[in-house]
Copies of this chain bind each other. A is one copy, B any other.
């Protein structure tokens, strides 16, 4: 099977010299690497290509922002700044649900409907899975195989190794690049049982939770905190013999949702049923999504939520940059291993060691 650009596997770092369709290709590669300004030039060209809708450039851009190399961070910051000034006309939708609920099939089905309406769709899949290949241990089928071949669809899985800590930053930045590339709809897929949802909620406009038909264990399985986040509940797999169960689940959830306090958005959380494999109910779900967005635009909640997300991102960036500043300080670099030894020999608690090193850091900053 030929390698598809939309599944472009990110490498260890971004090497502008390897981007042969950028000006770097026409330069001496080693001179190119020595000169950071040239790296910045390449980033500017990359940003232009992304904005022109070049899917290969988009993949390269996301690879750059996912890079952990020190030398890549200024480049990726510049790329984000260049792409951020685009108008925010897209919608960002989080799709969540427990494993086995059929998220991939649902996204494939909804995605087909969208691209057939000439929407440009990007899917960012966040799945806290393997450090190797991701997916279930007995081997997942290739996911969203039809959607991924459509020219209007761009599918990007997050490499699992980047998950810890980085998921918020990488995904938020990937959203920016996708929007600059002209994607109208950004779907962010995640598993539905906890922390990753709260991270995703901090970057989407709407949060859709998929649930399974059948009124027993699955009702217990979905945790209240995740349901509370949802703007729309979808009972998936409402097909064949499960149609009755799906309708029961819809009734149970509709009833249960009455127990919840009203949402900040002012919207009622509705429950829909659909079958992703039979593609029934999918269009109706999208119409429901559009209606919710319309309401949120008119009552100001859409802007309020995006603003809160921008400020959250601001804080996260400060946190990360502070730690980088600390770690790159020469004296800290020299003294940190002494402190680590004191911790490991139980002479100091991690708390006390951190506090003494922090004092040292402040002294150093004041000296220079």
Residues of A within 8 A of B (CB): 77, 80-81, 84-85, 98-100, 127-138, 140, 160, 163-164, 167, 191-196, 198, 217-228, 252-253, 256, 259, 307, 310-311, 313-314, 317-319, 321-323, 325-326, 339-340, 343-344, 346, 349-355, 357-358, 362, 365-366, 368
What are 9 residue pairs bridging A and B, where the CB atoms are less than 8 Å apart in the complex?
Answer: A127-B223, A129-B194, A131-B228, A132-B228, A134-B223, A136-B221, A137-B224, A192-B193, A307-B344
Residues of B near A339 (CB, < 8 A) are 314
Q: Find A220's partner among B84, B99, B217, B259 (CB 8 Å cutoff).
A: B99
Least distance between A301 CB and chain B CB atoms (Å): 15
Also in contact, A193 and B99, with CB within 8 A (given A134-B224, A136-B224, A138-B256):
yes
Also in contact, A317 and B351, with CB within 8 A (given A194-B196, A228-B130):
yes
A311 to B339, CA, bound (A): 10
Q: Find A128's partner among B81, B127, B225 (CB 8 Å cutoff).
A: B225
Residues of B near A167 (CB, < 8 A) are 195
A134 to B222, CA, bound (A): 11
Q: Find A193's partner among B193, B321, B346, B352 (CB 8 Å cutoff).
A: B193
Q: Is the CB of A133 within 8 A of B224?
A: yes
Residues of B near A219 (CB, < 8 A) are 136-138
Q: Is the CB of B311 within 8 A of A343?
A: yes
Also in contact, A137 and B227, with CB within 8 A (given A128-B193, A193-B128, A194-B195):
yes
Also in contact, A322 and B314, with CB within 8 A (given A195-B194, A352-B81, A362-B365):
no
Q: Which residue of chain B has the shortest Cβ distance to A164 in the bound complex?
A: B198
Q: Is the CB of A198 within 8 A of B128?
A: yes
Residue from A81, A130, A217, A223 with most neighbouring chain B CB atoms (10 Å)? A223
Residues of B near A325 (CB, < 8 A) are 358, 362
Least distance between A158 CB and chain B CB atoms (Å): 12
Q: Is the CB of A317 within 8 A of B228?
A: no
Copies in the complex: 2
Residues of B near A340 (CB, < 8 A) are 311, 314
Least distance between A89 CB and chain B CB atoms (Å): 13
Also in contact, A195 and B163, with CB within 8 A (given A340-B311, A349-B80):
yes
Also in contact, A222 and B354, with CB within 8 A (given A98-B193, A343-B310, A343-B311):
no
Least distance between A264 CB and chain B CB atoms (Å): 12
Q: Find A322's partner among B128, B193, B326, B351 (CB 8 Å cutoff).
A: B326
Q: Is the CB of A129 within 8 A of B98?
A: no
Q: Is the CB of B354 within 8 A of A318?
A: yes
Q: Is the CB of A129 within 8 A of B225?
A: yes
Least distance between A96 CB and chain B CB atoms (Å): 11
Assuming A81-B351, A128-B193, A317-B354, what are 10 further A-B pairs, CB within 8 angstroms? A81-B349, A98-B193, A100-B217, A128-B194, A132-B228, A133-B224, A137-B259, A310-B344, A311-B350, A365-B366
Q: Is the CB of B314 within 8 A of A358?
A: no
Q: Is the CB of B358 within 8 A of A322?
A: yes
A100 to B101, CA, bound (A): 14
Residues of B near A362 (CB, < 8 A) are 325, 365
A77 to B131, CA, bound (A): 35
